[in-house]
């Protein structure tokens, strides 16, 4: 998301350390059955739940915990956990959370900042039955939705040219703490694209450098700082927008072939895949990877590449996969409706579909329910994504 100056694309909960912990064990041992029973209660009543010699929880107990957590949701509520939508103000946010229990809201350039600056987010959080993601696109430079609230920051490129990695870590930590105090829980940053494009191009100065190692070092400092501040991070735009042919806001974008991305664009993702950050998939046509006219954000092949890691030499990834904005970027909207795009993304393997308005939430959820009923979107896949989202949101009785 982001990239254009006029464009737009997150207090009260423990947020987003969970993804940095061991995957299934953390989620499942942190779960409750939704009725006040803790994981400790469950392990004490489940035969063989804990191996007293190792202190590990058995697979049966983990499965029991997961089932108990998932049982608190209807199918529609599970599906709602897998969408994040842009809001205009506090009333819009509270309405969509209360009526459909969406998993996340997005604070864009068009959003009334009184939602954050005047503490109106509290009523929105109170309307949600589970921890709510409050997300923003705050990179610094020209992609800064919060400069009026927390001050401005240099672009990524300017940072890498003028600051040490440690100085950038300290700056990011200070800004992350300010974001958390406002109620932000997830920042759709850092941009880990590797690019030498002019500053004002779609990626341009949003990229730290055209050197993949420099990108990895500075992006890693940002992720580490935000983790410490309690704000989740999302690396973008997988598998690499830095050498793309254009701007996905305005139309289809083609990258170099996958073979050319391996030693450049994919290097930061490979180096940071175990950092605790989620990953955002771009609307990119990638020769040698995506099917023609099927952008990466709705491509099963791209999701599989990220999940397994074997196709680009990385560790497997079981964190959250977000789509880029599905509702305001022509690379998607020229091809399909928002309901079609959301279904396609989740079927392909994304965990969370993002778009910038609340208008279509009901119709999207209607379609997703139909997709599950028809078998196009398997129940097991929905459950796995709900659990990943729970891990990303934090630990405790709600997993």
Distance (Å, whole) CA 143 – CA 191: 10
Q: Is the pLDDT of residue 172 over 80?
A: yes
Question: Could you read off the pLDDT of 178-195 as tens digits, one per residue?
Answer: 999 999 999 999 999 999
Domains detected in the chain: 79-393 (3.20.20.300)
Q: Which of 51-65, 98-112, 289-303 has the lowest mean pLDDT?
A: 51-65
Task: Report the range out of 11-20, 29-38, 134-143 with the highest average pLDDT.
Answer: 134-143
Task: Decide the pairing of beta strands 321-323 and 278-281.
Answer: parallel
24 touches 388 (CB < 8 A): no
What is the three-class DSSP state of 259? helix
Mean pLDDT of 97-119: 95
Q: What per-residue confidence (pLDDT) applies to 11?
A: 33
Question: Could you read off the pLDDT of 200-233 as tens digits, one per residue?
Answer: 998 999 999 999 999 999 999 999 999 999 999 9
What residues are annotated to the active site? Answer: 249, 324
> Residue 133: beta bridge partners?
104
Tally Cβ neighbours within 10 Å of residue 190: 28
Torsion of Cα atoms, 341 then 125 then 98 then 319, to 10°: 30
149 touches 113 (CB < 8 A): yes
Mean pLDDT of 36-51: 32
30 touches 395 (CB < 8 A): yes
Sequence-ordered alpha helix ranges (H) in the chain: 23-30, 39-45, 59-70, 75-80, 90-100, 114-117, 121-126, 147-150, 156-162, 165-182, 212-229, 258-261, 267-272, 300-308, 330-333, 338-348, 361-374, 379-393
- Higher confidence at residue 245 or residue 40? 245
237 touches 249 (CB < 8 A): no
80 touches 132 (CB < 8 A): no
Q: Is the pLDDT of residue 276 over 60?
A: yes
Mean pLDDT of 357-362: 96
> Residue 234: beta bridge partners?
278
The rounded radius of gyration (Å) of the Cα atoms in the chain is 20
- Whose tokens are 């059955």? That residue is 33
Q: Is the pLDDT of residue 26 over 80?
A: no
Joined together, the tokens standing for residue 288 give: 């040698």
**Average per-residue pLDDT for the chain:** 86
Q: Is the pLDDT of residue 25 over 50?
A: no
Q: What per-residue confidence (pLDDT) applies to 58?
A: 63
């Amino acid at each position: 998301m982001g990239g254009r100056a006029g464009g737009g694309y997150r207090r009260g909960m423990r947020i987003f350390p969970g993804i940095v912990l061991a995957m299934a064990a953390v989620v499942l041992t942190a779960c409750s059955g939704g009725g006040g029973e803790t994981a400790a209660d469950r392990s004490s009543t489940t035969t063989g739940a804990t191996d007293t010699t190792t202190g590990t929880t058995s697979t049966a107990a983990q499965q029991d915990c997961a089932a108990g957590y998932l049982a608190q949701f209807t199918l529609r509520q599970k599906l709602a956990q897998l969408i994040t939508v842009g809001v205009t103000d506090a009333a819009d946010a509270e309405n969509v959370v209360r009526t459909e229990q969406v998993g996340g809201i997005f604070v864009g350039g068009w959003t009334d900042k009184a939602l954050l600056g005047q503490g109106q987010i509290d009523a929105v959080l109170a309307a949600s039955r589970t921890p709510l993601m409050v997300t923003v696109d705050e990179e610094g430079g020209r992609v800064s939705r919060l400069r009026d609230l927390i001050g401005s920051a240099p672009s990524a490129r300017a940072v890498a040219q003028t600051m040490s990695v440690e100085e950038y870590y300290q700056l990011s930590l200070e800004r992350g703490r300010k974001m958390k105090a406002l109620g932000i829980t997830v920042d759709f940053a850092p941009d880990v694209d590797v690019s030498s494009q002019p500053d004002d191009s779609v990626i341009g100065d949003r990229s730290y450098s055209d050197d993949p190692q420099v990108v990895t070092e500075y992006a890693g400092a940002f992720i580490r700082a935000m983790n410490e501040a309690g704000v989740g991070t999302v690396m973008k735009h997988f598998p690499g927008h830095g050498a793309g042919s254009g701007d996905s806001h305005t139309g289809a974008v083609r990258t170099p072939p996958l073979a050319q991305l391996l030693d450049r664009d994919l290097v930061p993702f490979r180096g940071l895949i175990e950092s605790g950050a989620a990953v955002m998939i771009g609307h990119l046509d990638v020769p040698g990877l995506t099917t023609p006219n099927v952008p990466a954000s709705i491509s099963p092949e791209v999701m599989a590449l990220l999940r397994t890691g074997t196709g680009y030499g990385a560790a497997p990834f079981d964190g959250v996969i977000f789509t880029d904005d599905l509702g305001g970027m022509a690379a998607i909207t020229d091809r399909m409706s928002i309901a079609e795009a959301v279904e396609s993304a989740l079927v392909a393997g994304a965990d969370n579909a993002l778009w910038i308005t609340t208008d279509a939430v009901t119709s999207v959820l209607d379609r997703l329910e139909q997709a599950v009923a028809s078998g196009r979107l398997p129940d097991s896949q929905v459950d796995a994504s709900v659990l990943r989202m729970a891990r990303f949101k934090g630990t405790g009785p709600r997993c």
